[in-house]
Structure formats: C-alpha cells, structure tokens
Amino acid sequence: MNKVRAVFEKKGRAKYISHLDLNRCMQRTFKRSGLPVWYTEGFNPHIYIMFALPLSLGYESSVEIMDFNLTEEVPFDVIKETLNRVMPEGIKIVKVYTPETKHTAIKYSDFKIVFKGSGKLLQSEFERFMEQEQINTVKKTKRKGEKLIDLKPDIKIISEECQEDRFKLVLRLPAGTEKNINPSLVTDLFVPFCSNGSEVESVERMLVISEKNEEFL
C-alpha cells in the first residue's frame, strides 16, 4: 500500500464547501478519477481520506492537506493530473508526495486576512489592539463547552501591508490537534475594536508549519 499526501488549493466558489461536504466531495472525486484508491475495510467501506486541518466555511486556502492510500504505485504527476481533471471548480491539487511526518506534527498555520478600510489607519488600530495587556475571548470547545482564553501570546504577526483601501495582515496562529486558534477569534474582536469600523473581506490559509518551525511536509 502506498501512502500519498496531496496539497490542494480551495478557492473561489469552492470556499463555500463545508468541511463535512468536502469529505463527501473528495470521495466522489476519487471515484470519478478511477485511481486505485484504498477503501477502509469496515462494515461500510469507504475511501480512506484524512484531512490534516479543517478549514472554516468561507475561507480560502493554498495549502489544504489530505492523505490517502493507493493499492498500486502511480507516478505523482499522474495522480495530480488525474485528480485535477475531475476536481470541482476552485479545487486544484498543487503537489503530491510521500508524507514525511504525521499530521500531529502540525503546530501553526499562517493566514492572510484582508480588511476593508484605510490600510494606514487599520495598521495603527491593529498595533493598539496588540498593545492590550490581554486579548481575552471565549472559545467554544467540544469537550469543555466555553472557555476563557487570552489570545495575545498566540498571535504572531508575519507581515503587514497597507493599501489605500485595504489592510492585509498575515498572522501565524496555533493549529493542529493540541491547540487551534481560528482567525475568526481574532477578527471577531478586532473588527468591533476599530474606531472607524472595518470588515473582513477575505481569509486565506497560506502555510502550514510543523513543530520544527518549518513548512509541514
């Protein structure tokens, strides 16, 4: 059995496909592709697909990661082309390779967040936002219900870009099984914090980072 990892983009209309629907969508995409994919052997066999990280509805991504198995060896470029021929609009495989590490090695994820409004103004507002002693919010978790957390130690600014009517911010946030901070936790606090108001135009996952602080592969 051959373990395969694919990195794909999820953009445009595809950003409205929810995580649950994406699984079903990929099952059908693999079926359409005719690739020799491995099925689970339970009572209700289905194609084994493991997504590394969920992506919120409405977010775009350049680096979605999924693992699957093939029962025969197929060249990586053939896998990529075969899948891309039957992918829905907006989803495109960009890389196929043999996985080096487990999904549990994922530690961070970078998101590009675009805010509407004067770049300069929003930049200084964000500075003020980050100067707060604590950035407290309530996080809903599956097991513990609601939990009060301080976001400040977990927000790392990677880059900022000011345009006349846009503010583009790249943040590194904890991701993975241990700790996961959704960018919406930050934007939901920051948007009402802005004195002149703003609006999130788009969010896109740019990079997935491993515990070694390198790109996750």
Give contact residues for another protein (rule: CB under 8 A): 12-14, 16-18, 21-22, 24-25, 27-32, 34, 39, 45-46, 57-58, 86-90
Go through 24-35 and write b for each residue having 16 or more CB atoms within 10 A of its CB, e for each that does not.
ebbeebbeebeb
Beta bridge partners of 168: 114, 161
Pick 44 or 195: Cβ nearer another protein:
44
Pick 18 or 123: Cβ nearer another protein:
18
Q: How far is the CB of 175 from another protein (least distance, A)?
A: 21
Q: How far is the CB of 183 from another protein (least distance, A)?
A: 14
Pick 16 or 97: Cβ nearer another protein:
16
Beta bridge partners of 66: 6, 51
Q: How far is the CB of 58 from another protein (least distance, A)?
A: 4
Beta bridge partners of 209: 108, 215
φ, ψ at 24 (rounded to 5°):
-65, -40
Nearest to 14 by CA among 87, 91, 68, 76: 91
User: How far is 49 from 21, CA to CA, in rounded Å?
Assistant: 13
Tokens linked to 155: 């927000």
Give 73-77's long-range contacts (Cβ < 8 A, gap of 24+).
Answer: 73/2, 74/2, 74/35, 74/36, 76/4
Pick 84 or 123: Cβ nearer another protein:
84
Pick 90 or 99: Cβ nearer another protein:
90
Pick 56 or 123: Cβ nearer another protein:
56
Q: How far is the CB of 215 from another protein (least distance, A)?
A: 29
User: How far is 4 from 6, CA to CA, in rounded Å?
Assistant: 7
Q: How far is the CB of 19 from another protein (least distance, A)?
A: 11
Q: How far is the CB of 156 from another protein (least distance, A)?
A: 26
